[in-house]
Amino acid sequence: MNLALHGAIEQGLLFAIMALGVYLTFRILNFPDLTVDGSFALGGALAARLIIEGTNPFLATLMAFVAGGVAGIFTGVLHTKGKINGLLAGILTMIALYSINLRIMGKANLPLLREDTLYTFVKDLGVPNLAVGGVVFFTGVALVFLIGILLLKAIIDWFLQTDLGLDIRATGDNSKMIRSFGANTDTTTIIGLGLSNALVAVSGAWVAQYQGFADVGMGIGMIVIGLASVIVGEVLFGSSSIFRATLAVILGSVVYRLVIALALDAGLNPSDMKLITALIVIIALTVPAVAKSVWKRQPFRATKGGRGDA
Amino acid sequence: MLKISRVRKVFNEGTVNEKIALREINLNVTPGEFITVIGSNGAGKSTLMNIISGGLIPDTGSVIIDGKNVTKLGEHKRASFVGRVFQDPMAGTAPNMTIEENLAIAYARGKRRTLSFGVNNRKRELFREQLRQLDQGLENRLKTKVGFLSGGQRQALSLLMATFTEPKILLLDEHTAALDPKRAQLIVDLTQKVVEQYKLTTIMVTHNMEQALNMGNRLLMLHDGGIILDIPQEKKQTMKPQDLLRAFEQARGGESFSEDRYLLS
């Protein structure tokens, strides 16, 4: 395994936090939330600014969580109380956040050189690489990330099994039914959006610290990357239960980064990656449907062939 | 138990599409009463149900459930008083959640949602016991997603979810109309059983006159936004569908009912 693939696994695990957030809105709430592009950059911008000003990186990341939650709640209120179409509510928050993020950073790009960040903290832990026969499969950093993301997955799995979690899931599944059992679907939608964007912002904060800078454009296309992770994960690893679906999202995020790394390795430009991302989502969405219809037609073809007139 | 006073509901008021759904309706329901409601399309049956459930807020008048004025309370705030089964078997359950998760949601009816586990072993035992009464073998399929069940099974589950927390009022909105005759009969039997068991105050809308006469202990006929017939148990017992049609005709002042006869039969 070369260095690029190690990096891809580490990145995949960090972006998986964002993908889990997208899973919460896109799959659980059945709400296409475009706030993500804005809240991801918001997390990165806020964490970078706070760290540069000397805030502890843990606290800075926690602040990113809170700020992302507020952004999600804002979208939720626009949609439920302001009766704005869900897609549009997300876009409005996203575009508003672009200006807010520039305000937070003061300029379009904030480098985190020589700052103490969560990434330097993880590296300093000195966890050894996981190597078999001299080939490194997991870097020590990736192992720490993996433990962290599995812990987060466990918390999300637990949350979705609680009474409140069941209400949020039912809101996306059958909102008429859950209202008749006494849940306020406005509230559950707002909570779901808040949690989702809080996770997305944490992911942005981590990525900024990992790559060593925050950039106002770092969130562009993030919703599509999140969708790619969710959908690729579901296609490859299944989604029959919550436990399995969240695991699939994490693995989907890693697979996505590996595909991107391989595409770069094959000589494509980094600027081509948005195109690759869109293609991955299109393929992941259409291939199962096409495969199904081909599979259905097969017995028919076989009989035709059997008669010798094919 | 339920007191509806001078409730009026108009849709699109002041426009060419104005439709008076309910005109100054009064209804007093005593505890344990099981009312069947019939009426042609557009008579105001659904509006009446929605006014009781909180899906619609009346323009004027008041709705009092168990002594509490709930006129302005939204649907989710009334849910602790009102259980409801819809016509569409898909409407009352969440298809991508398991049977036990659906029951857990019903179990939490009207309570404050917390971060404790929705399903635990104690609840699971209770759910199993309740499901056994449905006689559908669902007690062994707690972890099956509801989307995999048949329409009849989903409706049986909806009925159970609407009733086992013993709501003050049970609303049945043509809940057998979308099922084949055999499954419809099963749901009818089940309805009789649970209403009896919990002594539920029930209001059931139906298109089936036979059903309206055979079930319950009071019959209401709605027409054009008003209650035109209110038949008590003693009289209802002796009536046949033809008698009901005749009464309907009389109540409407001899107006032709050829179209409605078709709709009611």
pLDDT tens digits for range A249-275: 999 999 999 999 999 989 999 889 889
- Angstrom CA distances, A60 to A71, A113, A208, stand at 17, 16, 12
Torsions phi, psi for B64 (to 5 deg): -120, 120
pLDDT of residue B190: 92
* pLDDT tens digits, one per residue of A98-117: 999 999 999 999 999 889 99
* pLDDT tens digits, one per residue of A197-221: 999 999 999 999 999 999 999 999 9
Instruction: Compute the nearest-CA separation of B128 from chain A (Å).
Output: 19
Distance of CA A57 to the CA centre of its chain: 21
* pLDDT tens digits, one per residue of A269-293: 988 988 988 888 888 888 878 887 7
Q: What are the boundaries of each domain within chain A?
A: 3-220
Distance, CA of B20 to CA of B28 (rounded, Å): 21
Distance, CA of A123 to CA of A44 (rounded, Å): 19
Of A166, A174, A183, the CB nearest to B95: A174
pLDDT of residue B79: 87
Which chain B positions have a beta carbon within 8 Å of A166's beta carbon?
A: 97, 101, 104-105, 108, 118
- Angstrom CA distances, B193 to B138, B183, B187, stand at 18, 15, 10
Q: Is B215 on the interface with A (CB under 8 A)?
A: no
* pLDDT tens digits, one per residue of B43-53: 889 899 999 99
Segment (H or E) for B245? helix B241-251
Question: A136 pairs with which residues across the strands?
Answer: A131
Distance, CA of A215 to CA of A16 (rounded, Å): 19
Higher pLDDT, A203 or A139: A203
ipTM (interface pTM): 0.85
pLDDT of residue A297: 61
End-to-end alpha-carbon separation of chain B, Å? Answer: 31
Mean pLDDT for chain A? 91
Which chain A positions have a beta carbon within 8 Å of B80's beta carbon?
A: 182
Q: Best interface-test mutation with A: which of B46, B49, B65, B76 has the largest number of A CBs within 10 A?
A: B76
Q: Is B109 on the interface with A (CB under 8 A)?
A: yes
What are the tokens at B150? 């048949």
Does A182 contact B79 at a Cβ distance shorter than 8 Å? yes
Distance, CA of A307 to CA of A286 (rounded, Å): 32
Does A161 contact B117 at a Cβ distance shorter than 8 Å? yes
pLDDT of residue A36: 97
Distance, CA of A258 to CA of B46 (rounded, Å): 55
What are the tokens at B134? 């449905």
Instruction: Compute the nearest-CA separation of B147 from chain A (Å).
Output: 11
Q: Is A165 on the interface with B (CB under 8 A)?
A: yes
Question: B145 pairs with which residues across the strands?
Answer: B98
Distance, CA of B221 to CA of B245 (rounded, Å): 10
pLDDT of residue A307: 40
What are the tokens at B34? 């099981």
Give the residue from chain B lying closest to A155, CA to CA. Answer: B115
Of B97, B110, B113, the CB nearest to A163: B113
pLDDT of residue A182: 87
- A310: confidence class by pLDDT, cuts 50, 70, 90: very low
pLDDT of residue B255: 57
Residue ranges of chain B with per-residue pLDDT less than 50: 257, 265
The size of chain A, in residues, is 310
Q: Is B142 on the interface with A (CB under 8 A)?
A: no
Nearest 5°: the CA angle A104, A110, A113 is 140
Does A183 contact B76 at a Cβ distance shorter than 8 Å? yes
Does A166 contact B77 at a Cβ distance shorter than 8 Å? no
Q: Is A154 on the interface with B (CB under 8 A)?
A: no
Which chain B positions have a beta carbon within 8 Å of A169's beta carbon?
A: 94, 96-97, 101
Report the range of poorest mean pLDDT among A3-7, A156-160, B5-9, B57-61: A3-7
pLDDT of residue A305: 40
Residue with tokens 């009426």: B39
Residue in B36, B14, B26 with CA at minimum distance from that of residue B195: B36
Instruction: Compute the nearest-CA separation of A62 from chain B (Å).
Output: 21
What one-character DSSP code corresponds to residue B154? H
Give the residue from chain A lying closest to B80, CA to CA. Answer: A182
What one-character DSSP code corresponds to residue B113? P
Q: Is A184 on the interface with B (CB under 8 A)?
A: yes
The 3-class SS string of chain A reads: CCHHHHHHHHHHHHHHHHHHHHHHHHHHHCCCCCCHHHHHHHHHHHHHHHHHCCCCHHHHHHHHHHHHHHHHHHHHHHHHCCCCCHHHHHHHHHHHHHHHHHHHHCCCEEECCCCCCHHHHHHHHCCCCEEECCEEEECHHHHHHHHHHHHHHHHHHHHCCEHHHHHHHHHHHCHHHHHHCCCCHHHHHHHHHHHHHHHHHHHHHHHHHHHCEEECCCCCCHHHHHHHHHHHHHHHHCCCCHHHHHHHHHHHHHHHHHHHHHHHHCCCCHHHHHHHHHHHHHHHHHHHHHHHHHHHHHHHHHHHHHCCCC
B139-156 burial: b if 16+ Cβ within 10 Å, else e? bebbeebbeebeebbbbb
Give the residue from chain A lying closest to B170, CA to CA. Answer: A180
- A308: confidence class by pLDDT, cuts 50, 70, 90: very low
> Please, are residues A243 and A150 in contact by the beta-carbon 8 Å criterion?
no
Distance, CA of B109 to CA of A180 (rounded, Å): 8
Segment (H or E) for B128? helix B121-132
Helix (H, G, I), strand (E, B) or coil at B112: coil
> Please, are residues B84 and B161 in contact by the beta-carbon 8 Å criterion?
no
Does B93 contact A174 at a Cβ distance shorter than 8 Å? yes
Does B105 contact A181 at a Cβ distance shorter than 8 Å? yes
- Angstrom CA distances, A185 to A31, A81, A174, A177, A198, stand at 13, 11, 10, 10, 20
Question: B37 pairs with which residues across the strands?
Answer: B205, B220
Distance, CA of A164 to CA of B218 (rounded, Å): 39
A107 Cβ contact partners less than 8 Å away, ≥ 6 residues apart? none
Q: Is B96 on the interface with A (CB under 8 A)?
A: yes
Residue A309 has pLDDT above 50, yes or no: no
Distance, CA of B59 to CA of B76 (rounded, Å): 19
Does B106 contact A181 at a Cβ distance shorter than 8 Å? yes
User: CB-side exposure of B35: number of CA atoms within 13 Å?
Assistant: 25
Could you confirm whether domain B2-92+150-264 is CATH 3.40.50.300? yes
Q: Is A238 on the interface with B (CB under 8 A)?
A: no
Instruction: Compute the nearest-CA separation of B130 from chain A (Å).
Output: 18
Does A183 contact B113 at a Cβ distance shorter than 8 Å? yes
Which chain B positions have a beta carbon within 8 Å of A183's beta carbon?
A: 76, 79, 105, 113
Does A181 contact B79 at a Cβ distance shorter than 8 Å? yes
Instruction: Compute the nearest-CA separation of A163 from chain B (Å).
Output: 4
